[in-house]
Amino acid sequence: MKVFRFPENPLIAPDDVKPFHRGHEVIGVFNAGVAQLNGEVLLLLRVAERPVCTDPNVVKTSYIDFSSGKGKLKEMELQKNDKRYDFSDPRMIFYSDSMHRAAYVTSLSYFRLARSKDGRNFTIDDKPFMYPETEREAWGIEDPRITKIGASFYIQYSAVSPEGIGVGLASTTDFKTCRRLGLIFHPENKDVAIFPEKINGKYYALHRPVPKGIGRPEIWIAESDNLLYWGNHRHLLSLSEKGWDSCRIGGGAVPFKTDRGWLAIYHGADQNDCYSLGALLLDLNDPGRMLAKTEEPILKPEADYEMNGFFGQVVFTCGALTENGTVRIYYGASDQSIAGAEISLEEIMEKLCKCFI
Can you give the binding site for a copy of itself, defined by CB under 8 A? 92, 101-102, 135-136, 139, 160-166, 182-189, 207, 209-216, 218, 220, 222-226, 228-235, 238
User: What does each C-alpha distance from 261 to 38, 295, 354 come to in angstroms?
Assistant: 28, 18, 15
Shortest spacing between CB 135 and a copy of itself, in angstroms: 7
**Cβ closer to a copy of itself: 135 or 283?**
135
Rounded Cα distance, 287 and 351, in Å: 19
In angstroms, rounded to a whole number, what is the distance separating the alpha carbons of residues 142 and 258? 29
Contacts of residue 146, Cβ cutoff 8 Å, sequence gap at least 6: 33, 34, 35, 44, 153, 154, 155, 156, 254, 319
- Indicate the residue among 76 and 210 with the shorter CB distance to a copy of itself: 210
Q: Residue 143: in which H helix or E strand, if any?
A: strand 140-149
Tell the smallest beta-carbon distance from residue 315 to a copy of itself (Å): 21
Give the distance, in angstroms, between the CA of residue 169 and the centroid of all CA atoms in the same chain: 14
CB of 201 to a copy of itself, least distance (A): 13
> What does the alpha-carbon distance between residue 3 and residue 281 come to, in Å, rounded to a whole number?
19
| C-beta closer to a copy of itself: residue 19 or 164 | 164
Tell me which residue of 207, 211, 210 sits closest to 222, measured CA to CA: 207
Instruction: Provide the 3-class DSSP secondary structure of residue 5.
Output: strand
Minimum gap (Å) between residue 139 Cβ and a copy of itself = 8
Distance of closest approach, residue 214 Cβ to a copy of itself, in angstroms:
4
> To the nearest whole angstrom, how small is the minimum distance from the Cβ of residue 329 to a copy of itself?
26
Q: Which is nearer to a copy of itself, 24 or 207 (CB)?
A: 207
Choose between 163 and 346: whose C-beta lies nearer to a copy of itself: 163
Closest CA to 331 of 323, 345, 320: 320
Q: Which is nearer to a copy of itself, 182 or 325 (CB)?
A: 182
Q: Are 240 and 247 in contact (CB under 8 A)?
A: no
